[in-house]
Amino acid sequence: MTELRLLADIGGTNARFALQGAAGALQAIDVLACADYPTLGDAIDAYLARAAQQGIDTGAIARAAIAIANPVEDDLVRMTNHHWSFSIARLRAERGLRTLLVVNDFAALAMALPFLRADQRERIGGGVETAGKPIGLIGPGTGLGVSAVMPCGEHWMALAGEGGHASFAPGNDDELRILQALWQDFGHVSAERLLSGMGLELIHRVLAGERLAAADITRRALAGDDAACERTVACFCGVLGSVAGNVALTLGATGGMYIGGGIVPRLGRLFAASDFRRRFEDKGRLSSYLARIPTWLITEQYPALVGVAAMLAAAIEEDGGAGTQTGNAH
């Protein structure tokens, strides 16, 4: 690779950017708040201006790849958890790019999973991963992402979907109470309603009868001086374990199940000591099957950038390096 490539991981709250040079390493990694910019193009401009201040020739960018927290089904992309929307073809033309690949952010994150080192993940519970088998991914953040990678010959293929919007199923009386309350407010209650930043707030509102921001709930629970917040976090972790187990069963993810997103790493000891793993395995006759599947917390700070870089490289290789088309994928 002799060209400069622009990489982005766009979530509902933050936009993470990097440049990839000839050596293949990521450089000039930066994180911008989505709310600070009217459009994705404005955020890209701000990032490139900051990179230029570091002495990088941003005019040399020929190809780009964007992982975004949204389905990518056609040329027009409208974000579900933010107000940005854009045309892939128009953005490519405006930027003068030979190639622009736009993919679902959790598909990009999933693509990084087979290559994570021991220091980029943390084991949660038991199990032994089976080589060459499907690997599952779930990640609560602004929303709830669900994805996987499947072995495909000598390569991996990322799957993208909207599994976070599958219907939530309660596993105990507290969760049934939460479901009944949220039915009144929303009708359909998805897993994402509970397993997200807003989900923490909704769980707390039902269980504790008060409204608190997710950050305050987490902070008070970690401080150990607010039993109601600790109960909220415990409920959140239990639900996450149950949903992660569902995903692992659906995929046959004997290669392992990974937890990404921005929320769980902030929970620290509360997650490590939670009911997550017990609920993950608690699937009746299939409990022994789940017990054999390892669960991992992703600790690498920017894994989706690694994944989207790999997807861009594969797309260029498949295209023979021409890259004259606009690429998009789920």
Average pLDDT value for the chain: 92
C-alpha radius of gyration, the chain, whole number: 20
Cα separation, 5 vs 137, in Å, equals: 26
Q: Is 284 assigned to a binding site?
A: no
CATH number for the domain including 294? 3.40.367.20
**Cα–Cα distance measured from residue 200 to residue 209, given in angstroms and rounded to the nearest whole number:** 13
Domain assignment of residue 112, yes or no: no
Domain coverage including residue 227: 117-298
pTM for the whole structure:
0.82
pLDDT of residue 152: 86
Within this chain, do residues 140 and 271 fall inside the same structural domain, yes or no?
Answer: yes
111 in any annotated domain: no
29 is in an annotated binding site: no
Annotated binding-site residue? 8:
yes
Shared domain for 123 and 84, answered yes or no, is: no
Say yes or no: 167 and 214 in one domain. yes
Find the mean pLDDT for residues 90-119.
Answer: 91
pLDDT cut 90: percent of the chain above it: 77
User: 9 labelled as ligand-binding?
Assistant: yes
Do 94 and 121 share a structural domain? no
Query: pLDDT tens across 203-250, in order?
Result: 999 999 999 999 999 999 999 999 999 999 999 999 999 999 999 999
Task: Please indicate whether residue 49 or residue 160 has the higher confidence score (pLDDT).
Answer: 49
* pLDDT band with cut points at 50, 70 and 90 for residue 2: low
Segment 83-112 shows an average pLDDT of 92
Reported as a pLDDT band with limits 50, 70 and 90, residue 325 is very low
> What is the token pair recorded at 71?
């389905």
Percent of the chain with pLDDT over 70: 96
Q: Are residues 222 and 282 in the same domain?
A: yes
CATH code: domain of residue 80: 3.30.420.40
Whether 276 and 162 map to the same domain: the answer is yes
Indicate whether 156 and 235 sit together in one domain: yes
* 315 and 287 assigned to the same domain: no
Q: What is the model's pLDDT at position 154?
A: 79
**Under 8 Å between Cβ of 107 and 216:** no
Average pLDDT for 122-142:
94
| One domain for residues 176 and 313 | no
Residue 323 lies inside a defined structural domain of this protein: yes
The verdict on residue 8 lying in a domain is yes
> What is the pLDDT, as a whole number, of residue 162?
85
Q: Long-range CB contacts (< 8 A, 24+ apart) of 314-320?
A: 314/155, 315/65, 315/99, 315/101, 316/63, 316/99, 319/99
> What are the tens digits of pLDDT across the range 49-77?
999 999 988 888 999 999 998 888 899 99
> What does the pLDDT read at residue 24?
82
- pLDDT of 328 strictly over 70: no
Q: What is the pLDDT of residue 159?
A: 84
Is 55 labelled as part of a ligand binding site?
no
117 has a pLDDT exceeding 80: yes
* 80 pLDDT above the threshold of 90: no
Same domain, 83 and 25: yes
Distances (CA, A) of 282 to 239, 246, 287: 12, 10, 5
Residue 257 main-chain phi, psi, to 5 deg: -125, 125
- Domains in the chain, number: 2
**Do 44 and 181 belong to one domain?**
no
Provide CB contacts within 8 A for 187, sequence distance 6+: none
Q: For residue 109, is it within any domain?
A: no
Q: Read off the pLDDT of each residue in 6-21 and give the average, rounded to a whole number.
A: 94
Give residue 321's pLDDT.
Answer: 57
pLDDT at 324 over 50: no
For the cut 70, the answer to whether the pLDDT of residue 160 exceeds it is yes
Mean of pLDDT values over 30-59:
94
| Cα 233 to chain centroid, rounded | 20
pLDDT (tens digit per residue) in 164-215 = 999 999 999 999 999 999 999 999 999 999 999 999 999 999 999 999 999 9
Write down the pLDDT at residue 239.
98
Q: Is 57 annotated as a binding residue?
A: no
* Residue 147 and residue 250 in one domain: yes
